[in-house]
Amino acid sequence: MTSSSTSTAPLSPLVLRGFTPPLALSDFKLAAFDMDSTLISIECIDEIAAAAGRKAEVAAITEAAMRGEITDFKDSLRRRLALLKGVSEEALAQVLRDRLRFNPGARELCVALKAAGLKLVLVSGGFTYFTRFVAAELGMDFVRSNELEIVDGALTGALVMQDWGDICDGEEKRRMMLACAERIGATPTQCIAVGDGANDLPMMGAAGLSVAYHAKPKVREQAMVAINDGGLDRLLDLLR
């Protein structure tokens, strides 16, 4: 792949690795998506932190985790959540209302994939407060994300334990994608995985087609497809 963290050369708009397009869309049955900075243009936790006046501190940890410089995602998330203790639930509503925007081509890609019969999975290290909205808007069939603990209208700095665990990290994203594939009778090679950060690499490595969208260098280097310019729907240029 093009690019490294020290390179200053411009990125190619669309980089392919390990195959010759076009691919047959009919070869795939499931597509799994990261949410923050992939389907949507923001990192929700950073925007929540802005309400607490701690955006720079939280965003620095987010960036390091997404670049793969912090390898323990669970620890990085707990560190960030601790900084959000006491933030009001209204701050979440404000982020959803005023800051959350879909990335270009997200809706078009999801519509096209669903029209072709694929099932869609949203797997996020973010929060159900936002994934519920995104999943409903894009017609996701399966969703996994983290549940913020809210007491008396404010964040406690902790997460709610769910029946699968409390933190959706890279391994949980991979496990969820493969479990959904098995549920619909698909093999891993019939899966597409789309993400931007190091936390997405486990599921991308298990999928038949891995797609990096405006991603961190480590992710671009390992993905089969790197979309460095334009919208998510550029993936449709490779699928027929």
Residues marked as catalytic = 34, 36
Q: Does 62 fall in a domain?
A: no
Region 58-80: mean pLDDT is: 93
Q: What is the pLDDT of residues 153-191, one digit of tens each?
A: 999 999 999 999 999 999 999 999 999 999 999 999 999
Q: Does 167 fall in a domain?
A: yes
Biggest CA-to-CA distance, the chain: 55
pLDDT-derived band at 240 (thresholds 50, 70, 90) equals confident
Region 5-12: mean pLDDT is: 56
Mean pLDDT of the chain: 94
- The Cα–Cα gap between 41 and 236 comes to 20
- pLDDT at res. 220: 96
Omega of the bond leading into 104 within 30 degrees of 0 (cis): no
- Nearest Cα neighbor of 35 from 109, 100, 117, 112 is 100
pLDDT-derived band at 11 (thresholds 50, 70, 90) equals confident
- The CATH number of the domain where 187 resides is what? 3.40.50.1000
Q: Does 206 fall in a domain?
A: yes
Question: What are the two backbone dihedrals, phi and then psi, of residue 98, each rounded to the nearest 5 degrees?
Answer: -105, -20
- pLDDT at res. 4: 38
Q: Does 112 fall in a domain?
A: yes
SS3 101: coil
What is the domain count for the chain?
1
Q: Given a cut of 50, is residue 23 above it in pLDDT?
A: yes
Q: Given a cut of 90, is residue 102 above it in pLDDT?
A: yes
Is residue 142 within 8 A of residue 30, CB to CB? The reply is no
Domain that holds residue 187: 14-41+102-238
Find the range with the poorest average confidence among 7-11, 23-27, 55-59, 80-84: 7-11
Q: Does 224 fall in a domain?
A: yes
Q: Does 28 fall in a domain?
A: yes
Q: Given a cut of 60, is residue 8 above it in pLDDT?
A: no
- pLDDT at res. 155: 97
Q: Please return the burial class of 240, using the count of CB atoms within 10 Å of its CB with bins 0-12, 13-18 and 19+.
A: exposed
Q: Does 175 fall in a domain?
A: yes
Region 25-40: mean pLDDT is: 98
Q: Does 33 fall in a domain?
A: yes
CB atoms near residue 233 (< 10 Å)? 18
Q: Which residues, at least 6 apart from 183, have a Cβ–Cβ distance to it below 8 Å?
A: none
Q: What is the pLDDT of residues 117-156, one digit of tens each?
A: 999 999 999 999 999 999 999 999 999 999 999 999 999 9
Question: What are the two backbone dihedrals, phi and then psi, of residue 203, each rounded to the nearest 5 degrees?
Answer: -75, -35
CB atoms near residue 159 (< 10 Å)? 19
Region 104-122: mean pLDDT is: 98
- pLDDT at res. 9: 54
Region 187-208: mean pLDDT is: 98
- pLDDT at res. 5: 40
